Chains A and B, each alone.
Chain A
Amino acid sequence: MSAPPAGVVCHLDRLLAERGMTLTELSARAGVTVANLSVLKNNRARAVRFSTLTAICQVLNCDPGDLLSVEPLK
């Protein structure tokens, strides 16, 4: 039996809320545009650069696995 369809889900919302940080603040500190962060946050990104991932993880002090996970599609 094949696995159910799954997709990458971004947990940027939760990580920002836990740290009391806004998207604009993250944008300024990570050097990633608000537009790109918004695409990532709303799960509309189709690919992520390592440089983007590294910059976000450094600012949020987390690992890529905390930011992204693979979950079954609803």
Chain B
Amino acid sequence: MRIGSFVIDRDPVYVGTRTLRVISAGLLLLGVVALGFAAVQLVRSFVVSPAPLKLPVALVEGASVEEAFEHRLQTAYAQTRVTANGDGMFLTTNDPTRTEMVLGAAGEVLLAVAIGTSALLLRPLLASIADGRPFAPGNARRLAHVALITTAAAVLVPLIPRVATMQVLDRLELVEEGSPFLFGMTFSLTPVILFPLVLLVLAEAFRQGEKLHRDVEGLV
């Protein structure tokens, strides 16, 4: 017997109603917490007095970490600190401007907004699946919106801190000829394409499901 026919014959429940309701409640909580966190972070970046700001920094091709340390020592020793660990290389500025503070927090804020909004969009979808109405009107649109939000977040969240880094490098004159620091932006296209594409395909499946659902409405 083929595995496919075994699974179809058994008609297993992949996620139980109770689990769906628990996840749905969790998404509501996650949405509220994430949006609250985003609001607090945004207000904080505008209100609190400038504090040391740690930003990701990349090096030009061929430059070494030692060169970056040396360059920083010569040009902006008092105002900056360069650190490198497994997550990458970071430039900490001790006296960021208000714009740099806001830009530095904006990536985190956008990520939290994306997570919060997506969670709140997915909550009614899960609730309708738990109610046995997976193709209720609006579910396909919700998934498509989550795909758009995910795309925007995948592009903007890694880019915004880079913009802040460019501001800092420019202000501290760390980007003149021969500087080891990269004045520009790089990002991976894989998360931008892959995850939203899967969500869009899912949204299309739900859209067709909604169409089928409308067809059988009133069928006895």
Contact = CB atoms under 8 A, between A and B. Distances in A.
Contact of B219 (A32, A37, A48): A48
A44 interface: yes
Contacts of A49: 219-220
A46 interface: yes
Interface residues of A, number: 12
A58 interface: no
A7 to B, nearest CB: 13
Interface in A1-29: none
B216 interface: yes
Interface residues of B, number: 5
Contacts of A44: 218
Interface string A40-65: 10001111110010000000000000
Interface in A30-44: 32, 36-37, 39-40, 44
Contacts of A37: 220
Interface string B187-220: 0000000000000000000000000000011111
Contacts of A52: 220
A13 to B, nearest CB: 15
A58 B142 CA distance: 45
A27 B219 CA distance: 16
A39 B217 CA distance: 11
A49 B220 CA distance: 6
A47 B217 CA distance: 8
Nearest to B219: A47
Contacts of A45: 218-220
A48 B218 CA distance: 8
Nearest to B220: A36
A57 to B, nearest CB: 14
Contacts of B218: 39, 44-47
B219 to A, nearest CB: 4
B211 to A, nearest CB: 15
Contacts of A47: 216, 218-220
Contacts of A46: 217-219
B49 to A, nearest CB: 65
Contacts of A40: 220
A48 B216 CA distance: 10
Nearest to B217: A46
Interface of B: 216-220
Interface of A: 32, 36-37, 39-40, 44-49, 52
15 contacts: A32-B220, A36-B220, A39-B218, A39-B220, A44-B218, A45-B218, A45-B219, A46-B217, A47-B218, A47-B219, A47-B220, A48-B220, A49-B219, A49-B220, A52-B220
Q: Which 4 A-B pairs have the closest CB atoms?
A: A46-B218, A36-B220, A47-B219, A45-B220
